[in-house]
Amino acid sequence: MAKDFKRPDGRGVEDIRPMKAEVGVVPNADGSAMFSFGNTIAIAAVYGPKKMHPQHQQDPKKGTLRCNYNMISFSVTDRIRPGPSRRSTEISKITEWALEPVLMIKNYQNMVIDVHINIIQADASTRCAGINAAALALAHAGIPMRDIVSSVSIGKLDKQLVVDVDKDEEDWEEGEGATDIPITMTSSERLTHIQLDGKISNDELKQVLELAKKATKKVYEVQKKALKESLEVKE
């Protein structure tokens, strides 16, 4: 890997943008959290477990996780038309799949846990920030979990692998262009989500997984700290 590679914002190739995490940002919700990577800010709120309505959607075998990812209309340069899109529908489902493996909701039969994720400001990697916020919000809501998930995007700019892709990097056009690979892992290194758009070889992908392993650990530390802080008694 080239050491002299210059990222648009001057970060080192394995540097994540400054992360912030805070739980309890939506007092009405049963659990809530904010997570940000630099200028990408996501908030998530959990409502439930509560009885699933309409009744025919109830699952008698286990609880249901229902995620809703939404970008605020003014979170990006060109205003987004409010309401669900094909993209947001897919990210919502991907988020459910990323979170479900760590949730212990077998005993919440016929119930639903709603997770609402909103992107307030977008500078790429929004689904990763959303998943991180959602994981925190679920923990904050006291939903039994066997682990927490942490998400980060790995990028390939021309031939260089980088951690935590921002918008300037997402639009990279030199050489082989940009490959964007959002990945979510549990703290015990199980993969719960991976997506990819671009061009990359199998060998490079193996390096990507190693980078993601290290980077999600850093995200995990930030999440853990935020959860601990929320439990401290304020004088």
Partner 1 sequence: METPNSTGDRIAQYLKDGKRFDGRKPGEFREIFVETGVSKKAEGSARVRIGKTEVIVGVKMDVGAPYPDSPNKGNLMVTSELLPLSSSRFESGPPKFPAIELGRLVDRGIRESKFVDFKKLCIKEGEKVWTVFVDIYTINHDGNLLDAAAIGALVALKTAKIPKYDGETGKVIYGEYGDEMMPVSKEIPIVTTVHRIGDSILVDPTLEEEDISEARVTIGGSCEGKVFSMQKGDSGDLSIEEMHKILELSENVRKEVFSKIDKFFK
Interface with partner 1, residue 90, by CB under 8 A: yes
Q: From the list 14, 194, 221, 224, which residue makes contact with partner 1 (rule: CB under 8 A)?
A: 194
Identify the bridge partners of residue 71 per DSSP, sorted by sequence position: 119
Q: From the list 114, 115, 193, 222, which residue makes contact with partner 1 (rule: CB under 8 A)?
A: 193
User: What are the structure tokens assigned to 97, written together?
Assistant: 């799949």
- Give the up-direction half-sphere exposure of residue 16: CA atoms within 13 A in the CB hemisphere: 24
Interface with partner 1, residue 197, by CB under 8 A: yes
CA 177 to chain centre: 24
Residues 177 and 172: their CA atoms lie apart, in Å, by 5
Q: Which amino acid is at 175?
A: G
The mark string for 211-230 relative to partner 1 (x by CB under 8 A, - otherwise) is --x-----------------
Residue 49, preceding bond cis, omega within 30 degrees?
yes
Site for partner 1 in 146-185 (CB under 8 A): 181
Interface with partner 1, residue 51, by CB under 8 A: no
Is residue 184 within 8 A of residue 216, CB to CB? The reply is yes
CA angle 76, 81, 83 (to 5 degrees): 115
Piece of the chain touching partner 1 by CB under 8 A; list 6-14, 26-34, 130-138, 206-214: 206-214
- CB neighbourhood size of 108 (10 A): 21
Minimal distance in Å, beta carbon 200 to partner 1? Answer: 5
User: What are the structure tokens assigned to 217, written together?
Assistant: 């650990």
Q: From the list 15, 68, 76, 101, which residue makes contact with partner 1 (rule: CB under 8 A)?
A: 101
Interface with partner 1, residue 56, by CB under 8 A: no
Q: Which is nearer to partner 1, 20 or 87 (CB)?
A: 87
Binding site for partner 1 (CB under 8 A): 78, 86-87, 89-90, 93-94, 96-97, 100-101, 181, 186, 189-202, 205-206, 209, 213
